[in-house]
Amino acid sequence: MASQAADARARAGWLPGWRRSIGAAGEESWTVPDVRRRLQLVLAGIWLLDGVLQFQAFMFSKGFSQLLGATAAGNPAVIANPINWSAKIIADHPTATNAIFALIQVALGLGIAWRPARKLALGASVVWALAVWWLGEGLGGVLNGAASPVNGAPGAVIIYALLAVLLWPGRQDRAAPFIAGRFTGANVARVLWLVLWGSLAYLALLPATRAPKALGGMVAGMASGEPGWLFSLDDHLGAFLTSNGPAMSVVLAIVLALVAVSVFLPWPAARAGVVLAIAAAAFLWLAEGLGGLLAGGATDPNSGPLLALLALAFWPLASAAWSAAGQPKPAAATQSATSEGA
């Protein structure tokens, strides 16, 4: 079989370079994605969703540029001026700019999924995410006092960049007790986790969340335009938080702080921390009204799914599993290219 494949490669020698390299890959059997690759594919799916959401009618209107421009309010001039500048460009050319934005995000999703382009796409996604975090989300409202874990702070898009770095397919993986540490190393990954979840805990104690009726108002505000079941859920949750807002913000801060430190704890506690992180992400996503996806006009699913994906990347592995860090297992079930049919 190997000689046959080599023969085929030799026969395909007239192909241009890039096609030859793809062809060579095609001669190999398909490798079942390892855990990191699966997480990359989920990230790719979310980018693809973002790209298609960007094709909604509202994004081609002036309203979209006004939405972006509004994020400049309350930020320092050095942050706000570029936001106003880019919002003006988008307002002047809404159709062209939005079509480009949508295509970029679709390309990022498909690029991460297409194996030969995954590094390029992951790298580009970091650059794109940082640009959107600044020019599209006003740094997630971190500097203007509007940030709250319930409204997507510190900005969903910055978590895309963080995930791209932590899931980067390095040439040589480091031994780490979780997938997220294989490229950066376990300690760097833990610190990044601590900073993210710690900042969420801190934001939960700021007036934007802790003030009476602030939390309840935010959640109830998300209910508008949602289908019945989600409207009802957010409406009830909002009513509960309106009467218990300050206490619940403290509870939320404690939970988020526990999650933040959990990755430094021994194996069973770390695993419990990750489960708690997934539960917190699910709660935040419901409180965010599923990112407004069902109300129309959402540009992304907001921070909930990304926090859950990040948590999965920190799932503690058994020691036997992480000693052979990141080596993809040979496919248990491989198929030849010809049997792919369609």
Partner 1 sequence: MGGPSWLAWTFASVVLVVAAYCLTRLLASWRQRRPSDRRVDGIHVLMGVAMAGMLVPRLRVFWTGGWEVVFGIGTLWFAWLAIREFRGRPTAGGRPGHHLQHVLACGAMLYMFLAADTVAKARGSAMSGMAAGAAHLPTLALVLAFALFGYVIWTADRLSSLAPVAALAARVTPVPMFAEATAGGSASFGAAGGEGGDNGQVPPSRGQQVPPSQARRVPLSPRLAACCEIAMGVTMGYALILML
Binding mask 34-63 for partner 1 (x = CB under 8 A): ---x---x--xx--xx--xx-xxxx-x---
Q: Is 339 in the site for partner 1 (CB under 8 A)?
A: yes
Q: Is 17 in the site for partner 1 (CB under 8 A)?
A: no
Query: Contact, 152 vs 288, CB < 8 A?
Result: yes
Quick one: which of 67, 110, 126, 188 contacts partner 1 (CB under 8 A)? 110
Structure tokens at 31: 């490798």
CB of 319 to partner 1, least distance (A): 29
Considering only 29-37, 130-138, 199-207, 239-247, which stretch makes contact with partner 1 by CB under 8 A?
A: 29-37
CB of 274 to partner 1, least distance (A): 23
Q: Is 109 in the site for partner 1 (CB under 8 A)?
A: yes
Q: How far apart are CA 198 and CA 195, in angstroms?
A: 5
Strand ranges (DSSP E) for the chain? none
- The terminus-to-terminus CA distance of the chain in angstroms comes to 23
- Where do we find the tokens 């419990």? 272
Based on its alpha-carbon atoms, the radius of gyration of the chain, rounded to whole angstroms, reads 22
Per-residue CA distances from 74 to 139, 202, 237 (Å): 11, 19, 29
Structure tokens at 215: 């939390």
Considering only 149-157, 251-259, 275-283, 292-300, which stretch makes contact with partner 1 by CB under 8 A?
A: 292-300
Q: Is 116 in the site for partner 1 (CB under 8 A)?
A: yes
CB of 327 to partner 1, least distance (A): 18
Per-residue CA distances from 337 to 41, 160, 204, 341 (Å): 21, 33, 52, 8
Quick one: which of 268, 327, 330, 340 contacts partner 1 (CB under 8 A)? 340
Nearest alpha carbon to residue 155 among 191, 121, 200: 200
Cα 240 → chain centroid: 29
Q: Is 319 in the site for partner 1 (CB under 8 A)?
A: no
Q: Is 9 in the site for partner 1 (CB under 8 A)?
A: yes
The residues of the shown chain that bind partner 1, judged by CB under 8 A, are 1, 4, 7-9, 11-12, 14-15, 19, 22-23, 25-31, 33, 37, 41, 44-45, 48-49, 52-53, 55-58, 60, 95, 99, 106, 109-110, 113-116, 227, 229-230, 293-296, 333, 335, 337-342
